[in-house]
Amino acid sequence: MPSLPLRSAAGLGLLAALLLAGLALGGCASLGTGSSFPTWQIDRQPDNSTAVFQGIPVHTGQIVASEQGSAQSIFLALLVSDNSPWVHTGIIAIEDGVPVVYEANGQIRPSLTGGPPTRNVGGGLRRVTLESFLGKQRFVAIYDPPPGADGERIGRFARDSLKAGLPFDSFFDRSDPSKVYCSEFTALALEAGGAAPRRSSPVNPNQSVAVVMDWLGITTPDIIPAGAVIEGATRVALISRRDTLPQVEAYFDAKAELHRRFTPDQKLGNVLHFSTFSGLTFQPEVLEFLRAANEAAAGWTDVPPDEIGKRVRALAAERLGPFDPLRLANAAHAR
Amino acid sequence: MRLRSLSIAVLGAALCTSVLPGCIHLPAKVAAVVNQSDPAPANNFRRDPAPHQAAANAKPAAP
């Protein structure tokens, strides 16, 4: 996803850029070695069927999933009913021995006409090197495609889509495959490779989400979330260029907690804020919670994932206040 | 000449602002849900200061 003067958003990231023309994708980054990243976890060792990228077994047809950890990412997560750790997906292919990523990427075009940003989005399928991709994302995972899916056919679909100039779908209408958003493209590629169709998730029934979607002109009842794309797939590697493994776990737990608290009555403005020059940002309390979780997790070496989840939830209660949806529901019923 | 320079400057400024987040004007209805937050305890992301304040007020005065 997306620097001035033209900001872009990959996949669902578009919506972020929407409101905010946000998500600076930064300039090109060059990786050192994988060992220079705090998290460079390889879950499966290479074999004869794979190429190797800095220790990671890679082959055509793999799925790459990513998350920025930004206010835009949380905004996108809150638009969909199901929480997902990831916000963006793409397809890996090995070309001339180099791993590349095919991804659907939206770009906000300059406009003097006003109106919702969905009307001024260009972009479409593009190809970047995996190295470049890793340098721009905060969290990345690589997955083997689901069992039975043919990697070469997945890769062929991706190449053909790029050749066809498949445009980006800023309205997330998956009933029209002539335009695609990121997870829709990835899902179609997997399906072309023989994988079962990916499930969709309803748009969040939250009242403020409905107001924003209505303004943006997005009428789709559901979206294929990044989390659905990787269902049934086996993780090959987990990577973060700035966070340790416990910090990665803590971030995903914190994101899940924010999503859990975003009940239908909550305003997007309770979590986020949009300002003229900084775009979409976190509300101070939410930012402090995320920072506290990240700082605490730096010392959680050897803490099991379940325990990290409990600690993050305890931090949320401390920083954001207690939250018990059952108690709240009962209180509302009593009224 | 000056008019031409001015025109270029105005056009440049318009182009610049068109790519800033601020160029996106949220309708009032949208701004009301994106740029306004609820007070605690209706806000699930804001700690209610009342219990803490009550506890602080309940502290006996130091001897």
Distances (CA, A) of A298 to A34, A140, A251, A294: 19, 19, 11, 6
Is residue A178 within 8 A of residue A185, CB to CB? The reply is: no
Q: What is the pLDDT of residues A59-94, one digit of tens each?
A: 999 999 999 999 999 999 999 999 999 999 999 999
Q: Do A273 and B35 touch (CB under 8 A)?
A: yes
Averaged over B39-53, what is the pLDDT?
83
Which residues of chain A make contact with B50, given a CB cutoff of 8 A? none
* pLDDT for the residue numbered B56: 58
Size of interface A-B (CB pairs under 8 A): 114
Instruction: State the complex-level ipTM.
Output: 0.84
More confident residue, A7 or A61: A61
**What DSSP state is assigned to residue A331?**
H
pTM of the model: 0.84
Q: Which of A212, A267, A276 sits opposite B36 (nearest CB)?
A: A267
pLDDT tens digits along A273-308: 988 678 899 999 999 999 999 999 999 999 999 999
Give, in order, the Cα–Cα distances in Å from A88 to each of A77, A280, B41, B55, B61: 11, 18, 33, 45, 56
CB nearest to A276's CB, from B18, B22, B45: B22
Give A132-184 pLDDT, tens digit per residue: 999 999 999 999 999 999 999 999 999 999 999 999 999 999 999 999 999 99
Distance of alpha carbon A91 from alpha carbon A157, whole angstroms: 10
Separation CA A283–CA A271 (nearest Å): 5
- pLDDT of B24: 72
Q: Report the C-alpha gap between A75 and A78 in whole angstroms.
A: 5
Cβ of residue A275 closer than 8 Å to a chain B Cβ = yes
Least CB-CB distance to A267: which of B22, B33, B48?
A: B33
